[in-house]
């Protein structure tokens, strides 16, 4: 099956919103083993929309359209698709009643322009929308399929998950299963060299993706059942495990922060953080995860020197002799945070995030990260590239990875 994604909306053409739907749907289609050759965006203009739909169906037999299902005169996606399939629009009284009920629940007045949201092309399969007023629909005729979904991601994603996915899975017969290996501490280029023989394989396919200092390796196989796919995937994951070893911190849906929380939880350890240049990012990454309160005890954002002394007990002479960005200060911050918060392990970071503040001796990107436990304190020096946000993000991730290494 060959698919195209056709997003409808002048607000996308004006750059007012980002077309995240296209990425979501593209990923879903790839996982379903459905080929996608083009994505298109067109505005709320009936002539151009009609032409774009014609063009899409001249190249593909499945077109997924998003947006343009609202109550206004501009919203013409359903009507355009209906015209392409020569199907008249039919009002569904039961859906109209549901839309009216939705308005009552939301305590919003129902206006007549909303009636058109209950009209659908004759013979189409209706896709319920539990998060908004506009249901979607699937039309099928002469081996051509049009899937019509509303624009807001919080509406169309559940609709795709709940209804469209099963429909397309049945149509396509095969789907792509994959396993993701999360790696930290090996660069993408080096990893590519390490896995060169694997990336040449076509079943399963092996691909690497770099992001914020991490690399993901995805091993994928197209098959009719998950079991068949796993038989291809698992031996390759075993090889990656043998080669990347300790640099692997997790599999599939996970993050360094989640892995750290899990590892601390299973040891019954509590963590504190003392942050200078990251300024709360480490704490925030942990607190972002529900249930982190069991593990994350306290955070100190000691951005100013005075705060480093007062809050976590860094000695004035340490700051004077070695400076705020130094191994000594990082170590005293970690040890002080551990004692002050009375926890099992503490992590500290201090560095020059830029753009200002760099010197020849202590350039922008220089960061010290220390981890203190009851037994010992370890500290590492890093030189991170990039802008302020990139340096802070890399610092945060490396700090979490250093905690993980100490907990394990």
Site for a second copy in 151-210 (CB under 8 A): 209
Task: Decide if residue 37 touches a second copy (CB under 8 A).
Answer: yes
Matching residue, tokens 């994928």: 220
* Strand duo 2-8 + 62-66: pairing: parallel
- In the complex, the smallest distance separating the C-beta of residue 280 from a second copy, rounded to whole angstroms, is 3
Label residues 316-346 b or e (16+ Cβ within 10 Å = b).
eebbeeeebbbbbbbbbbbbbbbebbebbbb
Task: Decide if residue 40 touches a second copy (CB under 8 A).
Answer: yes
Cα–Cα distances (Å) from 1 to 24, 142, 172, 292, in that order, read 18, 14, 6, 44
Vertex 3: Cα angle to 159 and 166 (nearest 5): 35
- In the complex, the smallest distance separating the C-beta of residue 291 from a second copy, rounded to whole angstroms, is 7
- In the complex, the smallest distance separating the C-beta of residue 181 from a second copy, rounded to whole angstroms, is 15
Task: Decide if residue 85 touches a second copy (CB under 8 A).
Answer: no
- In the complex, the smallest distance separating the C-beta of residue 242 from a second copy, rounded to whole angstroms, is 26
Q: Please check whether residue 277 is in contact with residue 391, taking contact to mean a CB–CB distance below 8 angstroms.
A: yes
Task: Decide if residue 242 touches a second copy (CB under 8 A).
Answer: no
Nearest CA-CA partner of 130 in 108, 107, 163: 163
Q: State which residue, 115 or 311, has the beta carbon closest to a second copy.
A: 311
Task: Decide if residue 302 touches a second copy (CB under 8 A).
Answer: yes
Stretch 358-397 residues interacting with a second copy (CB under 8 A): 388-389, 392
Stretch 3-32 residues interacting with a second copy (CB under 8 A): 12-20, 22-30
- In the complex, the smallest distance separating the C-beta of residue 284 from a second copy, rounded to whole angstroms, is 4
**Segment contacting a second copy by CB under 8 A, of 36-44, 96-104, 115-123, 326-334:** 36-44
Q: Write phi, then psi, for 197 (nearest 5 degrees).
A: -65, -35
Which of 292, 326, 328, 398 is close enough to bind a second copy by CB under 8 A?
292
Which of 356, 374, 375, 376 is close enough to bind a second copy by CB under 8 A?
356
Matching residue, tokens 């997003």: 7
Distance, C-alpha 191 to centroid of its chain: 22
Neighbouring residues of 8: CB distance < 8 A, sequence distance ≥ 6? 41, 42, 43, 44, 49, 65, 66, 67, 68, 77, 151
Task: Decide if residue 279 touches a second copy (CB under 8 A).
Answer: yes
Name the 3-class secondary structure at 372.
strand
Task: Decide if residue 49 touches a second copy (CB under 8 A).
Answer: no
Q: State which residue, 233 or 272, has the beta carbon closest to a second copy.
A: 272
- In the complex, the smallest distance separating the C-beta of residue 112 from a second copy, rounded to whole angstroms, is 17
Q: List, as one string, the DSSP characters of 288-353.
A: TSTTGGGTEEEEEE--SHHHHHHHH---HHHHHHH-SSSHHHHHHHHHHHHHHHT-SEEEEEEE--
Q: State which residue, 355 or 363, has the beta carbon closest to a second copy.
A: 355
Q: State which residue, 184 or 300, has the beta carbon closest to a second copy.
A: 300
Q: Please check whether residue 51 is in contact with residue 29, taking contact to mean a CB–CB distance below 8 angstroms.
A: no
- In the complex, the smallest distance separating the C-beta of residue 51 from a second copy, rounded to whole angstroms, is 9
Which of 50, 228, 255, 340 is close enough to bind a second copy by CB under 8 A?
340
Q: State which residue, 21 or 331, has the beta carbon closest to a second copy.
A: 21
CB neighbourhood size of 78 (10 A) = 25
Which of 77, 124, 278, 318 is close enough to bind a second copy by CB under 8 A?
278
């Amino acid at each position: 099956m060959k698919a195209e994604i056709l997003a409808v909306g002048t607000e996308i053409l004006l750059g007012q919103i980002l077309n995240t739907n296209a990425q979501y749907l593209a990923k879903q289609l790839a996982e379903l083993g459905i080929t996608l050759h083009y994505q298109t965006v067109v505005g709320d203009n009936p002539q151009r929309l009609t032409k774009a739909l014609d063009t899409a169906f001249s190249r593909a037999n499945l077109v997924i359209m998003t947006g343009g299902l609202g109550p206004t005169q501009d919203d013409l996606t359903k009507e355009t698709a209906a015209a392409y399939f020569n199907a008249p629009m039919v009002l569904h009284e039961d859906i109209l009643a549901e839309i009216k009920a939705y308005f009552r629940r939301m305590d919003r007045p129902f206006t007549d322009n909303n009636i058109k949201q209950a009209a659908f092309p004759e013979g189409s399969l209706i896709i319920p929308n539990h998060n908004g007023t506009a249901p979607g629909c699937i039309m099928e005729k002469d081996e051509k399929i049009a899937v019509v979904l509303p624009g807001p991601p919080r509406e169309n994603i559940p609709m795709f998950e709940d209804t469209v996915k099963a429909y397309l899975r049945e149509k396509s017969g095969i789907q792509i299963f994959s396993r993701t290996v999360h790696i930290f501490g090996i660069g993408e280029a080096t990893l590519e060299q390490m896995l060169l023989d694997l990336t040449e394989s076509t079943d399963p396919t092996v691909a690497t993706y770099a992001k914020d200092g991490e690399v993901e390796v995805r091993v994928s196989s197209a098959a009719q059942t998950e079991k068949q796919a796993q038989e291809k995937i698992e031996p390759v994951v075993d090889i990656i495990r043998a080669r990347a070893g300790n640099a692997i911190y997790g599999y599939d849906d996970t993050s360094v922060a989640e892995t750290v929380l899990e590892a601390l939880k299973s040891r019954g350890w509590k963590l504190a953080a003392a942050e200078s240049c990251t300024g709360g990012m480490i704490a925030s990454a942990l607190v972002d995860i529900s249930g982190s309160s069991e593990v994350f005890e306290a955070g100190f954002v000691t951005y100013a020197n005075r705060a480093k002394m007062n809050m976590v007990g860094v000695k004035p002479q340490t700051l004077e002799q070695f400076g705020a960005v130094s191994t000594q200060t990082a170590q005293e911050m970690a040890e002080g945070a551990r004692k002050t918060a009375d926890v099992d392990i503490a992590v500290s970071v201090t560095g020059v995030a830029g753009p200002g503040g760099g010197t020849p001796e202590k350039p922008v990107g220089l960061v010290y990260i220390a981890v203190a436990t009851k037994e010992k304190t370890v500290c590492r020096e890093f030189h991170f590239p990039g802008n302020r946000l990139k340096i802070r993000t890399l610092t945060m991730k490396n700090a979490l990875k250093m905690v993980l290494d100490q907990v394990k």
